[in-house]
């Protein structure tokens, strides 16, 4: 398999010339990077996360040549008098009218009418990930932008600079026009921006980062805004977070089963061999690996409630959904979203709709629904844990002295609020089409809103898992229960030591959510389908 086809191989050596090219306009204090990315390579959701901090991006000479050749081809076509959308014409439904004569003026013409975003700013990490996603699309050399534009994006990503981008304004068709227009304005030194976490006028942020204001001409402005990088970036970041949460769901389910002393034949391999769903079988195998060494307490019912018995099925189904989303999001991140496309080697200009983010919209909605159901599972597992009728005799609300203290009663109330918020947010955006833009955009996917919602869902799910983790640690303390499975005991110890003495419950939830993000997931198990040792009494063992 070649490096260009390895999904997780996104670190490359960087030449001296590349470093000089990127750093020539940067101040010394800005010349610190934490990661290196190279094009061509597969841009993954996890690689997008590196853009939250300064990252060095390198285009190989083949990509640089392709970008320059496409830019030259655009100007040759213009000199020949060929009609090109956005270069010789107006924009959107005004395509039948001539655009402005001066190329720089035409760029301003576009950005001026798209500087309309509303709402709170996207997190700076999302805005920077969008710049990285746009760079990746432009680097294919099909958009006709100047090489200086691509270099400017690379230089920006090597600093802590992030454009201030309002959340609302894109319908996900004809690209993320309004959000990217705000991003471009910031790169020009207009509007506002962030330097690290500090919001300030964009001109000041550029100066402090050691960057020059972006200069645009030709098709540069349209090439920057006429794609779906905000959608792809938010969807990719959501996917990376949900992938971690999938591992958290398995680990917390195992710890719950261990603390309660459950029988674990609900994870027996024979069940999942018969079921036929590979992702579910893998999740069950991971659950068994977490529970290796577990000794059932002997006081539980033959069959556990679905929050435990069917957890491998639910988490496995979530894994299948996320696997589909990964394919879609990875395709989006590594394709070209723009219109028109230029193919100089064949002397072709193709006008079409590669800016239409329907695939990402469907995938993002699927992620939101998946996250909501994982949130349902975590909240119901928390409810099981605090109920003396079902938790094996632990105190109600896991209070040490019920009435004199209230244990995790508040944690559960907050978790209920969070899970209802997730359910409300799971309403699909991808079918909310409303005709707009003089009926030029008469059907639209709303992928941007779908992706931003998916990212919010992923962040809320972390807090639900943090809530469950806090309750599990409390249950172990109140009930003096030590997990018998070594892996579960290791997780419990990590949860206990992560929370500082004197922390509020809210702080504890956030701290444990952070811990779960860094908790090492199990390597894929190779034992699925193999004979499994029997529990006492002849039942299949839980690991």
**Residue 264 token pair:** 């674990």
**pLDDT per residue over 174-217, tens digit each?**
889 999 999 999 999 999 999 999 999 999 999 999 999 999 99
User: What CATH code would you report for 3-227?
Assistant: 1.10.275.10
Q: What angle do CA 461, 467, 469 make, to 5 degrees?
A: 105
What percent of the chain has pLDDT above 90?
Answer: 81
**Residue 377 token pair:** 């599972």
pLDDT given at position 520: 84
DSSP-derived secondary structure letter, 390: T
Q: Which residues pair with 36 in a beta bridge?
A: 56
Q: What angle do CA 86, 87, 92 make, to 5 degrees?
A: 15
Average pLDDT score over residue span 160-186:
95
Whole-angstrom Cα distance, residue 321 to residue 228?
22
pLDDT given at position 16: 37
Q: Is the pLDDT of residue 13 over 50?
A: no
Q: Is the pLDDT of residue 526 over 50?
A: no
Q: Is the pLDDT of residue 4 over 50?
A: no
pLDDT given at position 105: 86
Average pLDDT score over residue span 7-29:
36
The residues annotated as belonging to the active site are 85
Average pLDDT score over residue span 21-30:
37
CATH architecture observed for domain 239-332+353-518: Up-down Bundle (1.20)
**pLDDT per residue over 408-465, tens digit each?**
999 999 999 999 999 999 999 999 998 888 888 889 999 999 999 999 999 999 999 9
Q: What is the DSSP string of 82-151?
A: ---TTTTB-SGGGGGSB--SSHHHHHHHHHHHH---EEEEPPHHHHHHHHHHHHHHHTTS-S---HHHHH
Residues of the chain with CATH 1.20.200.10: 239-332+353-518
In contact, 360 and 327? CB cutoff 8 Å:
no
Q: Is the pLDDT of residue 295 over 70?
A: yes
pLDDT given at position 535: 36
Q: Is the pLDDT of residue 23 over 60?
A: no
Q: Which residues pair with 402 in a beta bridge?
A: 405
pLDDT given at position 327: 98
Residues of the chain with CATH 1.10.275.10: 3-227
Average pLDDT score over residue span 300-305:
92
> Which phi and psi (to 5°) does residue 311 adopt?
-60, -40
């Amino acid at each position: 398999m070649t490096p260009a086809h390895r999904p997780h191989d996104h670190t490359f050596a960087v030449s001296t010339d590349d470093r000089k090219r990127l750093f020539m306009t940067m101040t010394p204090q800005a010349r610190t990077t934490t990661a290196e990315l190279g094009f061509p390579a597969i841009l993954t959701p996890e690689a997008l996360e590196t853009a939250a901090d300064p990252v060095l991006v390198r285009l190989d000479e083949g990509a640089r040549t392709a970008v320059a050749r496409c830019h030259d081809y655009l100007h040759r076509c213009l000199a020949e008098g060929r009609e090109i959308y956005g270069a010789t014409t107006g924009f959107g439904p005004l395509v039948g009218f001539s655009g402005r004569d001066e190329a720089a003026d035409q760029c301003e013409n576009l950005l001026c009418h798209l500087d309309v975003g509303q709402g709170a700013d996207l997190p700076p990490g999302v805005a920077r990930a969008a710049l990285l996603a746009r760079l990746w699309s432009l680097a294919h050399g099909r958009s006709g932008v100047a090489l200086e534009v691509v270099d400017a994006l690379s230089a920006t990503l090597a600093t802590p600079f992030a454009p201030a981008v309002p959340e609302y304004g894109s319908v996900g068709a004809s690209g993320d026009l309004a959000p990217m227009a705000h991003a471009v304005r910031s790169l020009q030194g207009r509007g506002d921006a962030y330097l690290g976490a500090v919001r300030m006028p964009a001109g000041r942020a550029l100066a402090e980062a050691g960057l020059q204001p972006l200069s645009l001409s030709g098709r540069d402005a349209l090439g920057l805004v006429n794609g779906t990088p905000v959608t792809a970036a938010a969807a990719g970041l959501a996917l990376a977070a949900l992938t971690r949460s999938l591992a958290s769901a398995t680990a917390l389910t195992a710890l719950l089963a261990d603390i309660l002393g459950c029988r674990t034949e609900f994870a027996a391999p024979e069940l999942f061999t018969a079921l036929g769903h590979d992702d579910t079988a893998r999740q069950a195998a991971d659950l068994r690996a977490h529970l290796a060494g577990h000794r059932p307490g002997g006081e539980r019912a033959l069959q556990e409630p679905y929050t435990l018995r069917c957890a491998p099925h639910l988490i496995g189904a979530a894994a299948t959904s996320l696997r589909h989303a990964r394919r879609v999001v990875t395709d989006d991140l590594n394709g070209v979203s723009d219109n028109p496309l230029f193919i100089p080697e064949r002397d072709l200009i193709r006008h079409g709709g590669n800016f239409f983010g329907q695939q990402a919209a469907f995938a993002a909605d699927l992620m939101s629904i998946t996250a909501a159901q994982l949130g349902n599972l975590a909240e119901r597992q928390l409810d099981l844990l605090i109920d003396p009728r079902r938790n094996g005799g632990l105190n109600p609300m896991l209070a040490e002295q019920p009435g004199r203290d209230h244990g995790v009663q508040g944690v559960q109330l907050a978790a209920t609020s969070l899970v209802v918020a997730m359910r409300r947010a799971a309403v699909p955006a991808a079918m909310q089409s409303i005709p707009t833009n003089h009926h030029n955009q008469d059907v639209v996917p709303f992928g941007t809103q779908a992706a931003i919602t998916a990212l919010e869902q992923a962040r809320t799910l972390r807090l639900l898992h943090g809530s469950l983790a806090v309750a599990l640690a409390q249950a172990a303390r109140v009930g003096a229960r030590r997990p018998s499975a070594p892996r579960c005991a290791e997780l419990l110890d990590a949860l206990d030591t992560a929370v500082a003495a004197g922390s509020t419950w809210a702080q504890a939830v956030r701290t444990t959510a952070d811990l779960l993000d860094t908790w090492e997931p199990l390597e894929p198990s190779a034992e699925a389908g193999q004979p499994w040792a029997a529990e006492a009494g002849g039942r299949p063992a839980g690991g």
